[in-house]
Amino acid sequence: QVQLQQSGPGLVRPSQTLSLTCAISGDSVSSNSASWNWIRQSPSRGLEWLAGTYYTSRWYNDYAVSVKSRISINPDTSKNQFSLQLNSVTPEDTAVYYCARRGCSGGRCFYDYWGQGTLVTVSS
């Protein structure tokens, strides 16, 4: 059974960097059959995919255009986890942040496992 455990601060000051980590158990961050993603949820934006990382011979990272200039996702194979960094945050970045695994079956893919969520508030 795959489990994702999130950690990181719930309060970030404006213009600072939001950092979250997602620890994986029951699967590998280097899996050839999964990707590892960050998704956030807010009343104004709903559920919004932010970034994903996956390994097939080499590492690939994908980012949402809306945050591409200030976001980074990084896998850590030594700890079997991946992290999110979002720079220059504003109150609009206030949201519940989730990590999620993208799995596939029969050529169709979906977010099948999710972390518990972290409410991140951007405020001074």
Partner 1 sequence: DIQMTQSPSSLSASVGDRVTITCRASQSISTYLNWYQQKSGKAPKFLIYAASSLQSGVPSRFSGSGSGTDFSLTISSLQPEDFGTYYCQQSYSIPWTFGQGTKVEIK
Query: Dihedral angle at the C-alpha atoms of 77, 73, 39, 96, nearest 10 degrees?
Result: 100
Q: Does 92 bind partner 1 (CB under 8 A)?
A: no
Q: Does 97 bind partner 1 (CB under 8 A)?
A: no
Q: In this chain, which of 1, 10, 32, 46 binds partner 1, going by CB under 8 A?
A: 46
Q: Does 111 bind partner 1 (CB under 8 A)?
A: yes
Residues 55-84 that bind partner 1 (CB under 8 A): 62, 64-65
Q: Does 1 bind partner 1 (CB under 8 A)?
A: no
Residue 49 CB, nearest approach to partner 1 (Å): 5
Strands 108-114 and 95-105 turn out to be antiparallel
Query: Dihedral angle at the C-alpha atoms of 110, 114, 118, 120, nearest 10 degrees?
Result: -10
Query: Dihedral angle at the C-alpha atoms of 58, 100, 109, 34, nearest 10 degrees?
Result: 30
Interaction site with partner 1 (CB under 8 A): 46-49, 62, 64-65, 98, 100, 105-106, 108-117
